[in-house]
Structure 1
Amino acid sequence: MLSLAQVYDDFSDGDFTNNPAWNGDTQQFVVNDDFRLQLNSDGEGVSCLATTFSINGETEWRFWIKQSFSPSANNNGRYYLASDQLDLKGPLNGYFLQFGEGGSGDAIELFRQQGDVLTSVCRGTEGFISSSFELNIRVRRNQSGNWEVGVDETGSGAYQIHATGFDNAINTSAYIGVYCKYTSSNAKKFYFDDVYAGPFVVDTDPPVLEYVSVVFNNQIDVFFDEAITLNSAVSLQNYSVDNGIGNPTSALRDEENFALVHLTFSDPFPNGQTNILIVDNISDLAGNISGQMTANFVWFTPAAYEIQINEIMADPSPPVALPQFEFLELYNRTNVEVSLDNWKLFIGNTEKAFENVSIKAGGYLILADEDAESELSIYGDFYGFSSFALTNAGQVLVLKDPGNAIIHSVTYTDEWYRDAAKEDGGWSLEQIDPENPCGGSDNWKAAENTYGGSPGAPNSVFAPNPDNTPPTLERVAILELDQIQLYFSEPMDSTGLNNPTAYQIDRGIGNPVQATPVTPDYSSVILDLENELETGYIYTINVLGEFNDCAGNLIDSQTGLEFGLPQAAVANDIVINELLYNPKDDAVTGVDYVEIYNRSNKIIDLAELVLATEDETSGQVESVKNISNDGFLMFPSSYLVLTTKPEIVQQQYFTENPDGFIRMASLPSYSNDNGIVVLATRGLEVIDRLAYDDEMQLPILNTSDGVALERVNFERPSDDRTNWHSAAETYGFGTPAYRNSVYSQSIQVDDPITVDPEIFSPDNDGRDDVLNISYQFDVPGYTANITIFDS
Structure 2
Amino acid sequence: MKARILSLFLLLLLSISATAQLTDSFTDGDFTQNPAWSGDATSFQINPQQQLQSNGPAITGTTLQLATPSTAANGVTWEFYANLRLATSGGNLADIWLMADQSSLKTSGTKGYFVRLGGTLDEISLFRQDATGSPVYVINGQDGSLKSTTNNVVRVRVTRSPGNVWVLEHDLTGGQNFTSGGTATDATHQRSAYFGVRLTYSSANSRNFYFDDFRITDTVPPALLSATPTGPRQLDALFSEALDAAPSAASYRLVAGPAVLTAQLDAANPALVHLTLGENLPLGNNTLEARNVTDANGIVAAGPLTAVFVNQGFAVAPAFNQVLITEIMADETPVVGLPASEYVEIHNPTAGTVLDLAGMRLLKPGSTTVAVFPAGAALLPGEYAVVCGSTRASQFAAFGKVFGLTNFPSLSNAGDQLVLRARNGQTLFEITYSDTWYKDLRKKEGGWALEMVDPANPCAGSSNWTASTDDSGGTPARANAVRATNPDHAAPALLRAVALTPTIVRLFFGEKLDSLASTNVGLYALTPAVPVTRAAPQGPDFRTVDLQLTTNLPPNQPLIVAVQRATDCAGNGAGPITAAPFALPVAAQSGDVVINEILFNPRTGGVDFVELLNRSDNYLDVQGWQLGTEQPAGVSASPISAGPYGLAPGQLLVLTTRPDVVQTEYPTHDPAAFLAMASFPSLPDDAATVVVLDAKGQAIDRFHYDEKQHLPLLSDRNGVSLERIRAAEASVGGNFHSAASAVGYATPGRPNSQYQADPTGAKLFQIEPEIFTPDEDGQQDFTTLTYRFDYPGYAASITVYDAQGRLTRRLMRNETFPMSGFLQWDGLTDQGRKAAIGPYVLLIELYRVAGGETHVYKRNVVLGGRL
TM-score band (shorter)?
0.5 to 0.7
- SS across alignment from 1:517: strand
Distance 1:342 1:326, change over 3 A: same
Residue 551 of structure 1 pairs with residue 565 of structure 2: no
- SS across alignment from 2:462: helix
1:609-648 equivalence runs, <5 A: 609-615=625-631, 617-618=632-633, 620-622=634-636, 624-648=637-661
Q: Separation in 1 of the partners of 2:355 and 2:750?
A: 53
Tell me what 1:756 maps to. 768
Identity of aligned residues (%): 34
Tell me what 1:170 maps to. none
1:541-620 equivalence runs, <5 A: 541-544=561-564, 546-554=565-573, 556=575, 558-585=577-604, 588=605, 590-615=606-631, 617-618=632-633, 620=634
1:351 is displaced (CA, Å) by 2.5
1:501 is displaced (CA, Å) by 2.9
1:303 is displaced (CA, Å) by 4.3
Residue 694 of structure 1 pairs with residue 711 of structure 2: no
Of the three residues 256, 280, 283, the one matched with 1:272 is 280
Tell me what 2:781 maps to. 769
Maintained 8 Å contact 1:340/1:401? no
For residues 712-731 of structure 1, give each alpha carbon's deviation from its aligned partner in whole angstroms, at most 9, with x where no partner exists.
11222112x22111111111
1:547 is displaced (CA, Å) by 3.3
Tell me what 1:651 maps to. 664
- SS across alignment from 1:378: helix
1:441-590 equivalence runs, <5 A: 441-510=462-531, 512-544=532-564, 546-554=565-573, 556=575, 558-585=577-604, 588=605, 590=606
- SS across alignment from 2:750: coil
Residue 440 of structure 1 pairs with residue 453 of structure 2: no
Of the three residues 352, 355, 375, the one matched with 2:371 is 352
- SS across alignment from 2:578: coil
Distance 1:383 1:394, change over 3 A: same
For residues 13-65 of structure 1, give each alpha carbon's deviation from its aligned partner in whole angstroms, at most 9, with x where no partner exists.
xxxxxxxxxxxxxxxxxxxxxxxxxxxxxxxxxxxxxxxxxxxxxxxxxxxxx
1:601 is displaced (CA, Å) by 0.4
Amino acid at match of 1:727: A
1:555 is displaced (CA, Å) by 5.2
Of the three residues 428, 446, 455, the one matched with 1:425 is 446
- SS across alignment from 2:393: helix
Amino acid at match of 2:352: V
1:246 is displaced (CA, Å) by 6.0
1:304 is displaced (CA, Å) by 2.6
1:559 is displaced (CA, Å) by 2.8
Q: Separation in 2 of the partners of 1:778 and 1:538?
A: 36
1:576 is displaced (CA, Å) by 0.4
Q: Separation in 2 of the partners of 1:493 and 1:419?
A: 32
Q: How many residues align?
A: 511
For residues 386-413 of structure 1, give each alpha carbon's deviation from its aligned partner in whole angstroms, at most 9, with x where no partner exists.
3423322333222234454333221223
1:363 is displaced (CA, Å) by 1.4
> Is the strand fraction higher in 1 or 2?
2
Amino acid at match of 2:547: L
Q: Separation in 1 of the partners of 2:424 and 2:696?
A: 44
Tell me what 1:316 maps to. 332
1:270 is displaced (CA, Å) by 7.9
- SS across alignment from 2:623: helix
Maintained 8 Å contact 1:216/1:402? no
Amino acid at match of 1:483: I
For residues 428-454 of structure 1, give each alpha carbon's deviation from its aligned partner in whole angstroms, at most 9, with x where no partner exists.
111111111011122112222121111
Maintained 8 Å contact 2:231/2:314? no
Q: Separation in 1 of the partners of 2:282 and 2:575?
A: 43
Q: Separation in 2 of the partners of 1:477 and 1:778?
A: 42
Q: Separation in 2 of the partners of 1:505 and 1:341?
A: 42
Q: 758-767 or 701-710: which moved more? A: 758-767
1:482 is displaced (CA, Å) by 0.8
Amino acid at match of 2:715: N
Maintained 8 Å contact 1:571/1:686? yes
- SS across alignment from 2:328: strand
Tell me what 2:173 maps to. none
Q: Separation in 2 of the partners of 1:492 and 1:396?
A: 17
What's the Cα RMSD here?
2.9
1:579 is displaced (CA, Å) by 0.5
Tell me what 1:172 maps to. none
1:604 is displaced (CA, Å) by 0.9
1:203-282 equivalence runs, <5 A: 272-273=280-281
Amino acid at match of 1:758: E
Of the three residues 660, 669, 673, the one matched with 2:673 is 660
Residue 336 of structure 1 pairs with residue 348 of structure 2: no
1:785 is displaced (CA, Å) by 4.3
1:361 is displaced (CA, Å) by 2.1
1:775 is displaced (CA, Å) by 2.9
Distance 1:753 1:566, change over 3 A: same
For residues 45-102 of structure 1, give each alpha carbon's deviation from its aligned partner in whole angstroms, at most 9, with x where no partner exists.
xxxxxxxxxxxxxxxxxxxxxxxxxxxxxxxxxxxxxxxxxxxxxxxxxxxxxxxxxx
Distance 1:654 1:407, change over 3 A: closer
Distance 1:760 1:339, change over 3 A: closer
Amino acid at match of 1:495: L
- SS across alignment from 2:518: coil
Q: Separation in 2 of the partners of 1:487 and 1:216?
A: 37
Distance 1:311 1:701, change over 3 A: same
Q: Separation in 1 of the partners of 2:480 and 2:717?
A: 42
- Which ranges in structure 2 are unaligned for 5 or more consecutive residues? 1-229, 235-262, 269-273, 284-310, 803-835, 839-867
Distance 1:395 1:775, change over 3 A: closer
Maintained 8 Å contact 1:270/1:299? no
Amino acid at match of 2:327: E
Amino acid at match of 2:442: A
Q: 492-501 or 401-410: which moved more? A: 401-410
Distance 1:297 1:701, change over 3 A: closer
Maintained 8 Å contact 1:479/1:485? yes
Maintained 8 Å contact 2:385/2:401? yes
For residues 258-302 of structure 1, give each alpha carbon's deviation from its aligned partner in whole angstroms, at most 9, with x where no partner exists.
xxxxxxxx9989853499xxxxxxxxxxxxxxxxxxx98725465
Q: Separation in 2 of the partners of 1:247 and 1:418?
A: 62
Distance 1:733 1:460, change over 3 A: same
Maintained 8 Å contact 1:477/1:486? yes
Residue 400 of structure 1 pairs with residue 400 of structure 2: no
Tell me what 1:69 maps to. none
1:140-179 equivalence runs, <5 A: none
Q: Greater Rg, structure 1 or structure 2? A: 2
Q: Separation in 2 of the partners of 1:386 and 1:751?
A: 76
Amino acid at match of 2:320: A
Of the three residues 711, 718, 739, the one matched with 2:751 is 739
Distance 1:742 1:552, change over 3 A: same
Maintained 8 Å contact 1:347/1:390? no
- SS across alignment from 2:396: helix
Maintained 8 Å contact 2:437/2:450? yes
1:782 is displaced (CA, Å) by 5.0
